Structure formats: C-alpha cells, structure tokens
Amino acid sequence: MLIEIRNLTKTFQKGDEIITPLRNVDLDIDEREFVSLMGPSGTGKSTLLNQIAGIDKPTSGTITVNGTEVTRLSRTRLAKWRAANVGYIFQTHNLIPVLTAYENVELPLLLLPFSRAERQRRVQIALEAVELLDRASHYPRQLSGGQEQRVGIARAIVTDPTIVVADEPTGDLDSTTSALILELLQRLNSQLGTTLLMVTHDTDAAMVAGRQLRLDDGRLIADSATRLTEKKDESRSA
C-alpha cells in the first residue's frame, strides 16, 4: 500500500466556532492509482489533500506514505519530504510570474541533489510530456490558462514524485481545455504510472480517474472501488 490513512481528524477554531473538516478518515491508496475525491464545498476534500501532501498537519490520526509516517515529521523534514515525494497541481496554476516556463519547472529540482545537466534533461522531458517544450522560454503572462496549467503539471511531475496531488486542476479552465488537461493526467497515470489524487467538483472529471471517493461532512461516504474502510470496519466489527 502506498498511502495509508488511519483515523485522521482535523479540527480548527474559527472565531467561537470549532470546525471539523475531517472526522476519523481511514483510507488506503495503492501505487499507480488515479483517485478522484468529490463532495460538496466545505466537506474537507482540499483539507484531506493538504494532509496527504504534507502542507497541513492533522489534529489526530496518521498518514503513512511509502513507509514514512509523514504526520510525525518536523516542519523542516516535511519540507524535504515534500520536495522529493509530492507533486502539487494547483487550481490557479500558481506559477512564479518572474520565471519562465523552463525556470518554473526547474524550481523544485533546485531543492534536490541534481546536476545542472540532469536538471536540464528532466525539465525537457517534463515539458515534452505536456507538449510545451516550444514554450520553455515564455513567461506565465505569455501563456494561455491551459498552457499555464500544463506547465504546472510539468512542475509537479519533474521530480518524479511518489504522489501527485491536484486540487481542482480544471476549476479555472473552459470545458475544452479541461478535457485536454484531464486527458493529460490520465496519460501520466497510465503511461508513466504516476499515482494521482485529484480533488474535483466535476462528476465528469472525477470519472476520468480509476477510483472515485466521496466525502461529506468530513467523512468518507463512498468509494467506487468498494474499499471504503469505514464499511470494512463496520462489517469486521459485525
């Protein structure tokens, strides 16, 4: 099992109110799986994604990725772990505006012990994979929304991470471009074997993934692979 999530709970205080976006979530994800995570707004989809990506810490519970219990890592170790193991695709691309497409894709590689030549090789492969090698010297402002998102995808896969997480990657795009991006993600999963976890509102987009999860009120309520851990636990206890 690549990702094992056990009893994951996240609470935080907003004014006088205590909010619990995740309640006792248990989940397993295999290597090379393409998983989509759906649910209404505010049900904890992005919160779960952020916990798995190691950019947020749970209140309780554990997340183990490829044998590493990431919930126990310090802030600095977690940053190192993210650099080597996580590729993150944002809804709003979030490219660095002063850097070219090439430099944006190269950025995560600067954190890893790669030579200049190796960095160059990897950036070229990543840009080729998203069919944007000819736009390498372009700045984000010179690219369309779809092209920006493809650069964002190249940046996410360039380090060959253990998992790629995508937070509504088509949320800012028109339907034609969304279809192209989803096709690209599917290709990355099927051809390169990238493990993908995608948060989406769009049912059609979710169906591109091999496995669909549904969250509601911080609980995992459905799993297309019928591996919903809560249900398993219930049947086990019965």
Residues 102-141 that bind other proteins (CB under 8 A): 103, 107-108, 110-111
Token output for 25:
């979530």
User: In whole angstroms, how close is the CB of 47 to other proteins at the nearest point?
Assistant: 8
Closest by CA position to 213, among listed 192, 193, 230, 237:
230
Interface pick for other proteins out of 2, 19, 55, 179 (rule CB under 8 A): 55
Told to check if 99 binds other proteins by CB under 8 A, we report yes
The half-sphere exposure of 37 on its side-chain side, counting CA atoms within 13 A, is: 28
- With CB under 8 A as the rule, give the number of residues binding other proteins: 25
* Part of the chain binding other proteins (CB under 8 A), chosen from 51-59, 61-69, 128-136, 196-204: 51-59
Residues 141-170 that bind other proteins (CB under 8 A): 155
Burial of 19 (0-12, 13-18, 19+ CB in 10 A): middle
Q: Cα-Cα-Cα-Cα dihedral of 219, 222, 224, 225, to 10°?
A: 60
Contact call for residues 164 and 189 (beta carbons, < 8 A): no
What residue ranges bind other proteins (CB under 8 A)? 50, 53, 55-56, 75-76, 79-80, 82-84, 86, 88, 90, 94, 96-99, 103, 107-108, 110-111, 155
